[in-house]
Amino acid sequence: MHSQINKLFKVIFLSAIALFSLNSYAENSKEFGDYVVHYNAFRSDTISPEVAKQHGLARANNRVLINIALLKKVLNTTGKPTAAKVSGHASNLTGQLKQLEFKEITEGNAIYYLAETKISDGEFLKFDLKIIPEGETRAARLQFDKRFFTY
């Protein structure tokens, strides 16, 4: 099971890097006090059919995955993966809301959160997320936007 989740994480990570390279984006991260949130959104058809089936993810050119990872800052390290409650929504330019339901994926020490939603060709989405690290009461608010194409 752990190796299967590890494969999913690697596929998502490699897909994210590939998409960033294609679109000339840098890594997406934001600092919130003692934490750093890494985030990305990309078409779900970039993951392999086997990984999608294994984890119950819809694989299509009109669906996107939102990937969130939270790291607690630790001196002289890249950070400690931290569990969190992640919730939020996406909205398009006409104001339609798409509620996002995140599920936690853990593999060894790695913890990340995935949600999926449908898109239309050329759709521009604004993401508004709330992230509450485990053991904390204050939420971090993450906002970002991205345009998606289904070509």
Each domain of the chain, given as residue ranges in start order, spans 2-147
| Interacting residues of 102 by C-beta distance below 8 A, sequence separation 6+ | 66, 68, 86, 87, 88, 113, 114, 115
**pTM (whole model) above 0.85:** no
Pick the CATH number of 2-147 from 2.60.120.10, 2.60.120.1440, 2.40.50.220, 2.60.40.3340: 2.60.40.3340
- Taking CB atoms within 8 Å and a gap of at least 24, the contacts of 96-103 are 98/125, 100/66, 100/127, 100/129, 102/66, 102/68
**Counting beta carbons within 10 angstroms of the beta carbon of residue 7, is it exposed (0 to 12), middle (13 to 18) or buried (19 or more)?**
middle
CB 38 within 8 A of CB 28: yes
The pLDDT profile of the chain, 151 residues, written as one tens digit per residue, is 555 545 545 545 444 443 333 333 446 999 999 999 999 999 999 999 987 887 788 899 999 999 999 999 999 999 999 999 999 999 999 999 999 999 998 878 999 999 999 999 999 999 999 999 999 999 999 999 999 999 8
CA distance 104 to 112: 6
Tokens of 99: 């509620």
- Single-letter amino acid code for the residue at 48: S
CA distance 137 to 108: 26
